[in-house]
Amino acid sequence: VRALTLEKNLQYQSNHPAPRAGEGECLVRVRMAGICSTDLQLVKGYMQFRGILGHEFVGLVESGSATWQGKRVVCEINCVCRRCDMCLSGLANHCRKRTVLGISGRDGCFADLVCVPESNLHEVPDALTDEQAVFVEPVAAAYQTLSQYPFTASTKATVVGSGRLGLLVAQVLSATGCKLTVIGRNAAKLSLAEKRGVQAVHVDELACRADHDVVVDCTGTPAGFDLATRLVRPRGSIVLKSTFGGVQGVNLAAVVVNEISVLGSRCGSFSDAINALVREAVEVRPMITQTVPFERAMEAMAAAGQAKHLKILLDMRK
């Protein structure tokens, strides 16, 4: 099969051995996959991952149990044991023995075929295109923010970062009716937020007042976190949506002095994400800046790091 692998270097292989499904798993033929910031970080050495990259995808079940055969599916990325203390207490996403598709201990979806646990699958409704379905995983991650903080119409909230994740989080929060602002530095990306009715402010034009109830940092940078500490009110909350690049230069004293709650936030509900995409509460199509045939995956990975791009999709369908 064709596959994009990360060993010492990133490599496109046209003849990688086909994966074989283990017990409780099925084989999915990938139709489209999305390149995520996490993929770019993995290439730089994050998690010391080795294997086939990729965790955002839609595909058709090629072999597995009769229930799933031929169905168009998306797949939760945490593969769990269902036996450990975390699994048994309802926190399976934090399973002690988990592997994570294309991120930790398990081959991902930048390939013609991928093996996944059947229990991780969700059928994609006909109302969603393949392009929309690829976004289920990141939209689910955006929804996790709602399960961790009680947003209401009176909540004053800010999203820092107008990239891939920031624009998804902004749309999800906007649906709660909260008083929302998105802060970024790319005019084209900020205008996408404005088109969805979210107030957008360029970081250079920001009047920084520590009066926000909650700030969601989607930059994954020390500068983004620092800005969040200056925007949040005393006793307010900062939600970290991106894996943090490092602590150098980060002012943790502000967290202590202003008694700020810092919440880490990762994967969320696929059902919520699928429903939101069907209802068009989250519009993802304007975020696709390029769709690239899978043969050109190396080129696509290089382009994904450029500021002008939001989401680049890999097309495995032909």
Q: How far is the CB of 25 from Zn ion (least distance, A)?
A: 16
Taking the complex as a whole, the smallest distance from the CB of residue 64 to Zn ion amounts, in Å, to: 22
> Distance of CA 59 to CAs 75, 226, 253, Å?
9, 40, 47
How far apart, in whole angstroms, are the C-alpha atoms of residue 269 and residue 251?
Answer: 32
- Residue 274 C-beta: closest distance to Zn ion, Å: 24
Nearer to Zn ion by C-beta: 103 or 314?
103
For residues 61 and 80, which CB has a smaller minimum distance to Zn ion in the complex? 80
The span from the CA of 9 to the CA of 224, in Å, is 29
Contact yes or no for 34/311 (Cβ under 8 A): yes
Nearest position to Zn ion, beta carbon = 95
78 vs 162, beta carbon nearer Zn ion: 78
Name 153's Cβ contacts closer than 8 Å, sequence gap at least 6.
176, 177, 178, 179
CB nearer to Zn ion: pick between 86 and 288: 86
Closest CB to Zn ion among residues 4, 92: 92
Tell me how far, at minimum, the Cβ of 91 lies from Zn ion, in Å: 9
- Residues making contact with Zn ion (CB under 5 A): 80-81, 84, 87, 95
Least distance in angstroms from the C-beta of 92 to Zn ion: 6
